[in-house]
Chain A
Amino acid sequence: MTQPGTPVTRFAVPGRIGVSRQAASVWRTATLTEIRRETPRVSTFRFAVPGWPGHLPGQHLMVRLTAGDGYTAQRHYSIASAPDDSGHVELTLDHVRDGEVSGWFHTVARPGDRIEMRGPLSGFFAWPGDRPALLLGAGSGVVPLMSMVRHHRARNLTLPLRLLVSARGPEDLIYADEYGPETTPVFTRTAPEGTAVGRMTAAHVAPLLVEQPPGGWEAYVCGSNSFAEHASRLLVAAGQPVERIRIERFG
């Protein structure tokens, strides 16, 4: 939408995909099949979801828990698993202090439990694997980005993909055993011997923008609002166009 009088500080990031109205409006029963500890505060929950319509890396879903008196609680969670035909999806969840939903997942849930899910939701943060991807995540903000990394691997995609992942320390780094040469971890509080400690800086981001792939990067930023502000500023300062920065802020 362009018109006289509209300033040119445009972001207008277009959505990446059309979203199925049908998929988004149906609640499906999901059965928990596996729980994997990732870090002291984070676990991955694998679900069988009959009728799951498939998703793209970066999308999220909504879960609904129902108490005996009919009270319900709903939350949005990013999908951690790559799209596949297994009929399963995985969520990787932080144990939030006093979180009524994450608390249930971390202290009560066991394989065989059933919850409800609807999705996949939102086409904005989706990455179909069609453009070089520059991914910046912090804490559990790495979850939708990991879906992209896994998709890239599972499909043997050759287009460039880089992940900068920030964690407080090695013990807080989610998916630590899964990263390959595409990933640079950044440790803000404690780091292994010989690794610098501190926030993500221009030194992490700028080199990736100096050596851009043909057509440039599509940047995806995910994490807390403070991380998203910081990381998106680093990208802009390094020359990444604002209309090619997609941000998902965890609230």
Chain B
Amino acid sequence: MNITRGFTGRPRVHDSGLPPGQYDARDEWPVLSAEVTPDLAPEDWTFRIDGLVAEPRTWDWEQAHALPADAYEGDIHCVTGWSKFGVRFGGVSLDAFLDQVRPLPSATHVVAYAHTGYTTNLPLADVIGGRAWIAWEYGGEPLPAEHGGPARLIVPHLYFWKSAKWIAGLRLLDHDEPGFWEGNGYHARGNPWEEQRYSGD
């Protein structure tokens, strides 16, 4: 152990609920997008699922909102070190979209892509079974543009760069294909509990 002289750190909270190396951002919600925030109106937003599915489909704002409402309530963890506890994202479970396109048995991974061109890759298993959402509300209010509004992907059990802002679609693949940050040195899966921040972790 490499003890830093004179460093005490914050008061410890046992069972803080924080993954290793994270701290509680409390009321802060930092914005870390690498691109210019797009000016995207709800009526111009679309969401498509294609690739290895039986029936590719594109939903517009109204069609997406016609699916059963669902919400994620819990914690989120950003690779830069902050976590937030007890947030609420309202939208629709990704399962509701996937049920309509029917993934093929050969599909193993997805690439999520944004209306800005941002991409991120995920194992299919990480976005099914009630573990991922398309969200357009935060804390009961419309999701602000700088946080990915009108709609973003939410995959809260992985580092938050996987929860693509301004989500435009998912493409199902039979292999893993690195996305934007994954091609810039970040980990392919990004599990905060195993501290998978960078490739090689």
Contact = CB atoms under 8 A, between A and B. Distances in A.
Contacts of A233: 36
A180 interface: no
B33 interface: yes
A21 to B, nearest CB: 4
Interface residues of A, number: 59
Contact of A121 (B1, B115, B171, B198): B198
Contacts of A24: 185, 198-200
B184 A67 contact: no
A73 interface: yes
B36 A245 contact: yes
B35 A247 contact: yes
Contacts of B184: 15, 19, 122-124
A25 B196 CA distance: 10
B58 interface: yes
Contact of A249 (B7, B31, B115, B117): B31
A22 B200 contact: yes
Interface in A79-124: 100, 104, 108-109, 113-116, 118, 121-124
Contact of A124 (B2, B34, B113, B146): B34
Interface stretch (A1-9, A146-154, A170-178, A202-210): A1-9
A247 B50 CA distance: 30
B170 to A, nearest CB: 11
A167 to B, nearest CB: 21
A9 B4 CA distance: 47
B4 A113 contact: yes
B7 A21 contact: no
A75 B81 contact: yes
Interface in A114-159: 114-116, 118, 121-125
Chain A facing B: main interface SS: mixed
Given A22-B200, A124-B184, A229-B146, A66 B30 contact: no
Nearest to B119: A1
A114 B116 contact: no
B50 A5 contact: yes
Interface in A221-251: 225, 228-229, 232-233, 235-236, 242-243, 245-251
B2 A10 contact: no
B7 A104 contact: yes
A122 B80 CA distance: 12
B35 A66 contact: no
A115 B3 CA distance: 8
Contacts of B81: 74-76
Contacts of A10: 116-117
Contacts of A39: none
A123 B31 CA distance: 19
A24 B171 CA distance: 29
Contact of A248 (B9, B34, B58, B185): B34
Contact of A73 (B9, B118, B201): B9
Contact of A232 (B7, B21, B37, B200): B37
Interface of A: 1, 3, 5-7, 9-13, 15, 19, 21-22, 24-25, 29, 65-76, 100, 104, 108-109, 113-116, 118, 121-125, 225, 228-229, 232-233, 235-236, 242-243, 245-251
Interface of B: 1-10, 12, 21, 23, 28, 30-38, 40, 46, 48, 50, 58, 78, 80-82, 111, 113, 115-119, 146, 168-169, 171, 180-181, 183-186, 198-201
**What 9 A-B pairs are tightest by C-beta distance, nearest first?**
A251-B30, A12-B117, A19-B185, A25-B200, A10-B117, A11-B35, A21-B200, A108-B6, A24-B198
Given A69-B12, A251-B78, 8 more contacts: A3-B50, A5-B48, A21-B185, A65-B7, A108-B7, A121-B198, A235-B36, A242-B116
13 contacts: A9-B117, A10-B116, A15-B183, A19-B199, A21-B198, A25-B200, A25-B201, A65-B9, A66-B7, A74-B81, A109-B6, A121-B185, A251-B78
